């Protein structure tokens, strides 16, 4: 978790529901400093993005960092061993300066190859539709090759995005969500030439279940969590609406024209503090069970201060269970 106020970062692990607890470690490098950013200037939502760099064992080796307001980038290596001894690896200049903007309307999508290694990263500016691809981020080169990709949609609102993984762990597709209209776009052909990608708008939209307008404001409305099947493929996406607290599962994500939205009767509304959400972003990561399937999710809300939410049985999602976990142990 990265604190947008000062660039400090912490590593959260060993989350338990019974008894409710989790542990955290402070990452030994400041993200603002790594990106050449003034430590006294807070970042706006969407200005600082981080993507996981995974190895062939599926372990998180490090992070790829981008400051979307300047186009600067950096790496943190060795996170899988000990986040308190992470290695900072700089990147020369500002390689994404060509699409940099101060509006924060960006998505970072990591691409994995057939061996499961993270070999590239897409930085997408949803306001302009421009997208660049960083090649071989697994090598953590100080001078990465950056290419413009095929143009993607210009969205009316903010963007939520998620990579879709095939059974061999390769990233073959991705989904983009327009938070202004609820429209869903499928990005394809990512497993071939990463810069020559395709995109098509789906007939299904999120506002078929989620309300188009909410009284509660939040910087990024939709949080997308990958639903992995037992063969490793992303066959569904669990969706959290940070504005209303409603939740749903997008099923059949790998089926051509077969996607459907299944809403939950459960809500996070009472679990999310009633505070000003203009600068607030929720985040969530999947809980992977012993068979490799997504069994739940950890949900992080900066307004909770010292705590998080654990969701169980998210694939239903009618049998979904919600737990509030607080009190981190260092």
Domains of the chain: 10-329 (2.120.10)
Spatial separation of the C-alpha atoms in residues 113 and 146, rounded to whole Å: 18
Least confident of 42-46, 151-155, 216-220: 216-220
**Closest by Cα among 305, 299, 241 to 267:** 241
Q: What is the pLDDT at residue 275?
A: 67
Contact 228, 294 (CB under 8 A): yes
How many whole angstroms separate alpha carbon 112 and alpha carbon 64? 13
* Whether pLDDT at 276 is above 80: no
**Per-residue pLDDT at 330 exceeds 60:** no
Looking at every residue in the chain, the average pLDDT score rounds to: 91
Higher pLDDT, 260 or 279: 260
**For the chain, what percent of residues have pLDDT higher than 90?**
72
Indicate the SS3 state at residue 276.
Answer: coil
Q: What is the per-residue pLDDT across 218-254, written as a single tens digit (0 to 9) for each?
A: 889 999 999 999 988 999 999 999 999 999 999 999 7
Q: State the pLDDT at residue 42.
A: 94
Region 80-87 average pLDDT: 86
pTM, two decimals, is 0.95
Which pLDDT score is estimated for 39?
87
325 or 111, which is more confident?
111
Is pLDDT larger for residue 63 or for residue 82?
Answer: 63
* Residues written for the chain: 330
Q: Is the pLDDT of residue 306 over 90?
A: no
In 13-98, which ranges are continuous DSSP H helix? Answer: 31-34
């Amino acid at each position: 978790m990265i604190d947008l106020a000062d660039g400090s970062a912490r590593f959260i692990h060993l989350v338990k529901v019974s008894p409710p607890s989790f542990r955290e470690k402070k990452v030994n490098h400041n993200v603002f400093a790594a990106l050449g950013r003034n430590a006294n200037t807070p970042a706006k939502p969407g200005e600082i993005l981080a993507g996981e760099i995974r190895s062939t064992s599926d372990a998180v080796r490090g992070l790829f960092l981008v400051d979307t307001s300047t186009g600067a980038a950096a790496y943190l290596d060795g996170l899988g061993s000990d986040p308190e001894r992470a290695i900072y690896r700089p990147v020369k200049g500002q390689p994404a300066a060509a699409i940099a903007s101060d509006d924060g309307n960006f998505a970072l999508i990591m691409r994995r190859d057939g061996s499961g290694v993270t070999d590239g990263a897409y930085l997408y500016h949803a306001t302009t539709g421009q997208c660049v691809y960083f090649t071989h981020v697994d090598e953590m080169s100080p001078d990465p090759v950056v290419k413009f990709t095929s143009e993607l949609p210009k969205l009316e609102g903010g963007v939520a995005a998620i990579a879709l993984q095939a059974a061999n762990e390769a990233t073959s597709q991705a989904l983009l969500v327009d938070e202004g209209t609820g429209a869903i776009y499928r990005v394809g052909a990512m497993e071939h030439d990463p810069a020559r990608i395709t995109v098509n708008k789906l007939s299904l939209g999120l506002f078929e279940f989620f309300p188009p307008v909410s009284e509660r404001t939040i910087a990024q409305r939709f949080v997308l969590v990958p639903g992995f099947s037992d063969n490793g493929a992303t066959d569904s996406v669990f969706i959290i609406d940070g504005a209303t607290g409603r939740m749903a599962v997008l099923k059949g994500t790998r089926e051509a024209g077969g996607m459907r939205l299944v809403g939950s009767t459960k809500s996070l509304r009472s679990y999310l503090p009633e505070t000003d959400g203009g600068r607030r972003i929720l985040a969530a990561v999947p809980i992977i069970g012993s068979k490799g399937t997504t069994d739940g999710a950890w949900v992080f809300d900066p307004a909770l201060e010292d705590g998080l939410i654990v969701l169980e049985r998210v694939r239903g999602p009618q049998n979904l269970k919600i737990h509030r976990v607080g009190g981190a142990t260092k």
